[in-house]
Chain A
């Protein structure tokens, strides 16, 4: 298969380009926050990386809850003035988000790219990978991202701004975010991988952050996108996903009930892509618009990535055949030679 006609290869090229841009883009002249691309990127990228080209929207949200909205509520000030910076940040976020929707996760996010590269490494090392998580695990995991968004991005920072919590609770998500450690390490800065003994709170958060980072690396070697499943950015995207111009649409076929390859190919284990027979827009809350379900759908135009009403990429039987063959070949190749190492529970053998 011509790699440049392989959607997954094209996506990897975009991911690698944006990874380099966001991690090292500061060298192009965006050292100061005022020079950053948006200050409200709809993908995880850390403000602690001084060399980065942008920072994710969750950073200003926490900051505004702690230093703006909270104090204004506590002092009985003008609520609208307290909310204004948050509304400006949200507006900036939406300006970007509307263009690409949740594809910021599947095509742009450096943390997602890192996990996918680790998964490829796991495959090339010949590790036994888990193709799809079981339904119960997926069901139990899904609410976690909402809890993190509600508590760590908005709740605790707001309580801190109100004066109810200590200052070290002002940016709790940043304190545990793997992007903080990943993006700084990638830029050659080890200052964010630490255990902080300053206070009980900093000790707790730093232990959680380091443990989570190690956990994510180990899990990503054998499980697809482990951190993405609990990422609050995914939850924030889910709130506004109906506004995005890019979307995943389904034109169900009677064969859909028997197939299920789309769900097996999905790195987020969204089984509803397979079972949903009524909705046209199937950009579900966990979808990252990576397009793998479209690639591995064997029926003509049943699944499509559409930009408004224009199909960008549609399921095609010919593409499916070639793509599946290419995937099988890719799976056979490991650093220790060619061998068909099984992937459990996945007919599509996704990587």
Chain B
């Protein structure tokens, strides 16, 4: 039952199949193969349908926004939502709304789908007004990339399509970190994704995904609006990549290049 002043979202979206999405993060087994199974289970190459479970979904409406801003209503069957490919590639926006009259709650998430080239920019999708209160990634991580720990990413909060200044936003991660910030005059706010993955071993790759939710709320005309942006982030490769060693190896290459050209020149001069 929804009540005024509810501190957190009541709608809850969890992945059942497909690429890991909003489910609690699972750590990869150390030393486990990073090779995707046949058929390409790399998140960006997922072609099969994804299924989500929705808690407290009574009265919720789900809509899939295509890259060309076409909309497809999705059925929620006993709290299960199936997201099938639309035949075109690029980011799609899954928008779930629940209107209780005094409380309107929404969840937006962006999903990359494979298919024929859409020829449309994700900028169009993020610019479109999908709900009255909306948190918009600026930008969405580019195709084949994801949010990573330690990276600073921008978001904009809008109401009726207009930027909202001085709006409080809360970022919560599956690993228990909570960050709060206030939007600037353009409704923009930047968050640095926390380096909060447990069990990271320095030098070992960890491609685990974990969910995050960015939330805000606004009271207008006697109705409370709550909006969430959901997504995933992963550990920064800096945990298993060394810049210092990279510079050192490049330096060795530089020295080798100098020696090689020097010897080559000496040899040519000798033979001449």
On A, residues with C-beta under 8 Å from B are 29, 31-35, 50, 67, 71, 74-75, 88, 128, 130, 134, 137, 163, 166-168, 181, 190-191, 193-199, 202, 206-207, 210-219, 221-223, 226, 344-345
List the 3 shortest-distance A-B pairs measured between CB atoms, nearest first. A214-B253, A218-B257, A198-B205
Q: Which of B122, B145, B253 contacts A210 (CB 8 A)?
A: B253
Residues of A within 8 A of B139 (CB): 31-32
Residues of B within 8 A of A207 (CB): 249
Residues of B within 8 A of A210 (CB): 246-247, 249-250, 253
Residues of B within 8 A of A74 (CB): 38
Q: Which of B45, B240, B243, B254 contacts A190 (CB 8 A)?
A: B243
- Whole-angstrom distance from the CB of A209 to the nearest CB of chain B? 8
Q: Which of B39, B42, B119, B250 contacts A213 (CB 8 A)?
A: B250
Residues of B within 8 A of A226 (CB): 257
Query: Given contacts A67-B40, A199-B205, A222-B261, is CB(A214)–CB(B143) below 8 Å?
Result: no
Q: Are B243 and A167 in contact (CB under 8 A)?
A: no
Q: Which residue of B lies closest to A88 (CB)?
A: B117
Q: In the bound complex, how far is the Cα of B121 from the Cα of A207, in angstroms? A: 36
Q: Are B122 and A71 in contact (CB under 8 A)?
A: no
Question: Which of B118, B119, B238, B258 has the most CB atoms of chain A within a 10 A radius of its CB?
Answer: B258
Residues of B within 8 A of A168 (CB): 34
Q: Are A218 and B256 in contact (CB under 8 A)?
A: yes
Q: Are B246 and A34 in contact (CB under 8 A)?
A: no
Residues of A within 8 A of B255 (CB): 214, 218
A-B contact pairs, 21 of them (CB 8 A): A31-B142, A32-B122, A34-B117, A34-B121, A67-B42, A88-B117, A128-B265, A130-B264, A130-B268, A190-B243, A191-B241, A194-B246, A195-B249, A198-B240, A206-B241, A210-B250, A214-B255, A215-B254, A219-B257, A223-B261, A226-B257
Q: In the bound complex, how far is the Cα of B114 from the Cα of A71, in angstroms? A: 15
Residues of A within 8 A of B254 (CB): 214-215, 217-218
Given contacts A199-B205, A206-B241, 12 further A-B contacts (CB under 8 A): A31-B142, A35-B121, A71-B39, A163-B38, A166-B33, A197-B204, A198-B241, A214-B249, A214-B255, A218-B258, A222-B261, A344-B268
Residues of B within 8 A of A29 (CB): 123
Q: In the bound complex, how far is the Cα of B126 from the Cα of A32, in angstroms? A: 12
Q: In the bound complex, how far is the Cα of B260 from the Cα of A322, in angstroms? A: 35
Within 8 A of A (CB), among B128-159: 139-140, 142-145
- Whole-angstrom distance from the CB of A293 to the nearest CB of chain B? 22
Residues of B within 8 A of A167 (CB): 34-36
Q: Which of B34, B242, B251 contacts A195 (CB 8 A)?
A: B242
Q: Judge whether B49 is part of the interface by a CB distance below 8 angstroms.
A: no
Q: Judge whether B216 is part of the interface by a CB distance below 8 angstroms.
A: no
Q: In the bound complex, how far is the Cα of B253 from the Cα of A181, in angstroms? A: 14
Within 8 A of A (CB), among B28-52: 33-36, 38-40, 42, 45
Q: Judge whether B252 is part of the interface by a CB distance below 8 angstroms.
A: yes
Q: Judge whether B87 is part of the interface by a CB distance below 8 angstroms.
A: no
Q: In the bound complex, how far is the Cα of B256 from the Cα of A228, in angstroms? A: 18
Q: Which residue of A lies closest to B236 (CB)?
A: A191
Residues of A within 8 A of B242 (CB): 194-195, 197
Q: Are B256 and A211 in contact (CB under 8 A)?
A: yes
Q: In the bound complex, how far is the Cα of B205 from the Cα of A137, in angstroms? A: 40
Residues of A within 8 A of B143 (CB): 32-34
Residues of A within 8 A of B109 (CB): none
Residues of A within 8 A of B270 (CB): none
Q: Are A191 and B257 in contact (CB under 8 A)?
A: no
Residues of A within 8 A of B220 (CB): none
Q: Are B241 and A196 in contact (CB under 8 A)?
A: yes
- Whole-angstrom distance from the CB of B154 to the nearest CB of chain A? 12
